[in-house]
């Protein structure tokens, strides 16, 4: 598979590249265009994957990022079969105090960039009858305290990709999202370094553990793979069951209901 992965220098994006190389879901050979703004870590990941991988250092908020990725993908791989559009950020804070620039930045990375990249890769994906998978979040489904406009930016991403699935279905392109719940990566490591906070979080997850980058990568690879050949326009939650715990959190389920 010829794959473009954004946010490939760390966490879930890196795990997508590494798990694709393992070959459990999608048989090789594979070639990779790895996109990230962190040049140093991107170089490390690329070197570890070998000659089939090509690093493309870019900020996904740039207006022309999609066109530049498309050009680089053609130069390195001659086309594109799959896209893991995964780069994203969190920003803390309350909406009442949020700065306009921070709101715009959240939407620029977590929503708009996915569209810029998808738009530029439409023709190559049409040629390969390929697949596009974006990384959303469980926060797209649930308001998330102290994360400012993060939930809104991810909720918009869900609808953007559903819209793509309808527009591009006739071209044979499948478009889906994955929504991780709490997952241990560089994005969350500082928060979960506090053992009390980690224990509280894990207690709220039915599987009683955080997700790993590999857990989420495997869901992305499933959606990119032929095993998901008739699946388009869905959001696949990878949250250990956490999104089903609303009633538990409110005290129901104790056997005391009247």
Ligand X SMILES: NC(=O)c1ccc[n+]([C@@H]2O[C@H](COP(=O)([O-])OP(=O)(O)OC[C@H]3O[C@@H](n4cnc5c(N)ncnc54)[C@H](O)[C@@H]3O)[C@@H](O)[C@H]2O)c1
Residue 251 CB, shortest distance to ligand X, in Å, is: 26
Kindly state the smallest distance separating residue 116's Cβ from ligand X, in Å: 11
d(CA 76, CA 229): 26
DSSP assignment letter at 93:
B
The CA-atom distances, in angstroms, between 251 and each of 63, 170, 197, 206, 218 are: 48, 47, 20, 15, 33
Rounded least distance, CB 142 to ligand X, Å: 11
Q: Which is nearer to ligand X, 37 or 209 (CB)?
A: 37
Of 87 and 173, CB closest to ligand X: 87
Taking the C-alpha atoms of residue 178 and residue 233, their distance in angstroms, rounded to an integer, is 11
- Which CB, 26 or 90, lies closer to ligand X? 90
Which token pair is 244? 């089903």
Residues 6+ apart with CB under 8 A from 213: 11, 12, 14, 15, 183, 184, 185
Alpha carbons 111 and 219: distance in angstroms, whole number: 20
Q: How many CB atoms lie within 10 A of CB 155?
A: 20
Q: Are 213 and 15 in contact (CB under 8 A)?
A: yes
Give me 179's structure tokens.
């929504």
Looking at beta carbons only, is 7 or 124 nearer to ligand X? 7
Whether 150 is a known active-site residue: answer yes
- Nearest to ligand X of 89, 127 (CB atom): 89
Residues of this chain that interact with ligand X (CB under 6 A) are 7, 9-13, 36-38, 59-61, 86-89, 109, 135, 137, 180, 182-183, 185-188, 213
Q: How far is the CB of 24 from ligand X (least distance, A)?
A: 20
In the complex, minimum distance from the CB of residue 135 to ligand X, in angstroms, rounded to a whole number: 4
Three-state SS at 10: coil
Give catalytic residues, as residue numbers.
150
């Amino acid at each position: 598979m010829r794959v473009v992965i954004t946010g490939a220098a760390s966490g879930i994006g890196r795990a997508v590249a590494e798990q694709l190389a393992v070959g459990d879901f999608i048989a090789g050979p594979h070639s990779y265009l790895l996109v990230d703004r962190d040049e140093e870590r991107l170089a490390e990941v690329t070197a570890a994957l070998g000659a089939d991988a090509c690093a493309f250092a870019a900020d996904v908020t740039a207006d022309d990022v999609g066109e530049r990725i498309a050009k680089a993908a053609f130069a390195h791989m001659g086309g594109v079969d799959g896209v893991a559009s995964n780069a994203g950020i969190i920003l803390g804070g309350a909406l009442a105090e949020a700065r306009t620039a921070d709101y715009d930045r959240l939407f620029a990375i977590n929503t708009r960039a996915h569209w810029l990249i998808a738009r530029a890769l439409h023709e190559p994906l049409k040629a390969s009858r390929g697949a596009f998978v974006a990384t959303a979040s469980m926060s797209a489904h649930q308001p998330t305290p102290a994360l400012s406009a993060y939930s809104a930016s991810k909720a918009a991403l869900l609808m953007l990709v559903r819209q793509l699935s309808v527009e591009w279905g006739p071209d044979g392109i499948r478009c889906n999202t994955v929504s991780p719940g709490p997952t241990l990566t560089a994005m969350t490591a500082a928060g979960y370094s506090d053992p009390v906070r980690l224990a509280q979080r894990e207690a709220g997850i039915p599987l009683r553990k955080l997700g790993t980058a590999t857990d989420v990568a495997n869901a992305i690879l499933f959606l990119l793979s032929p095993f998901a050949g008739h699946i388009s326009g869905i959001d696949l939650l990878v949250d250990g069951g956490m999104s089903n715990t609303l009633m538990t959190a409110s005290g129901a389920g104790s056997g005391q209901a009247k």
